[in-house]
Structure 1
C-alpha cells in the first residue's frame, strides 16, 4: 500500500477507555471519511514491549496537535483488544490515551497494507497519513527496532494540508514554493 492508493475499507475493535463498561468500541474507515477528516494511523509490533510505549506515549502527548489539524489519530497492532486493555492498565504512560488502540487480531488490515514482518507476522512500525477522501498521501515504515519521530508526522501532515509545494525541511508557517 503506497502513496496514491485507496486506504483499505475496514471495521475493527478498539480500546478507547479504562472505565468499566466503556472500554471497547469499533472504528471503521467510514468514521473519518464521513466527518471529512484526515486519518493518521500508526502501527507497532507488539504490546508489552519496549520501544512501542515510547512512541505511543509521544503520540498521546501530541494528540491535541493532530485534533487541531482535523486528523483522527489511531494506534494499531495485531494484538487483541483484550491485550491492549491489559497493557493500558499495566503501563502508566498508556493509562490516559486520547486515541483508540485498534486491534487487528486476524491481521487482515496489516496484511492488506503489506506491513507484516515475515517471521513473527507482527506489524512493522508503519505510519499512514490518509486524506479525507481515503487516499494514502504519506507512508513511513521503520524496522522493528527503531522508533519514529512524531514531529515529522505532524510536519508532513501540515505540508500535505497546504496543498502546495513545500521545500525540504519546510515547517508550518514558512513560505511554500511558487510555481
Structure 2
C-alpha cells in the first residue's frame, strides 16, 4: 500500500474533527447569543473558513498531484505534532466550555477564563492552529501547502488576535 491513502485518511479524520468543532461552536454560539452575546470580527470569518478548508484540500491536492515522498522520520514527527495540536485544541475547548467558539462572541458579564492552557498563553488555540498548519501537510512532505497556509494564516491571525484582544478587553 502506498502512503497517499493513509495520508488521505488522516486529512479526512482532521476534517471530521473540524465538523465536530463546528457543531460545538454552533451550540455555544446559540448559548452566547441567548445571553446577549455580541459578535466581533465577522468580516474575517469567511476568510478563516476558506483558509482552513484550503489547508485540508491543498494538502490532499499537493500529495496526489505533485507526489512528494513521505519521509518516515519527518512523517512520524509531524504526526506527533498533529496529535499534540489536536490535544491542545480540545484542552482549549474544554477549558472555555460554553465560551469557546470559532467566532469571536462576547457575552456580557461573562468572566474571562484564565485556567487550563490560558494560564500559560493568552491564545493557546492559535498555537494549535499554527502547529497543525505546518505539521499536517508535512506528514507527507507537502511543503508548498504548509508554506502557503502558514503565510496566509499569519495575516489572518494578526487580525484575529487584535479582534479577540479587543473582545477580551470588554470582559475586563
TM-score per shorter chain, which class?
A: under 0.3
Which structure would you say has the larger RCO, counting Cα contacts within 8 Å and 6 or more residues apart? 2
If each structure's helix is expressed as a fraction of its own residues, which one has the higher value? 2
Q: TM-score scaled by structure 2?
A: 0.24
Task: Tell me the TM-score normalised to structure 1 length.
Answer: 0.23
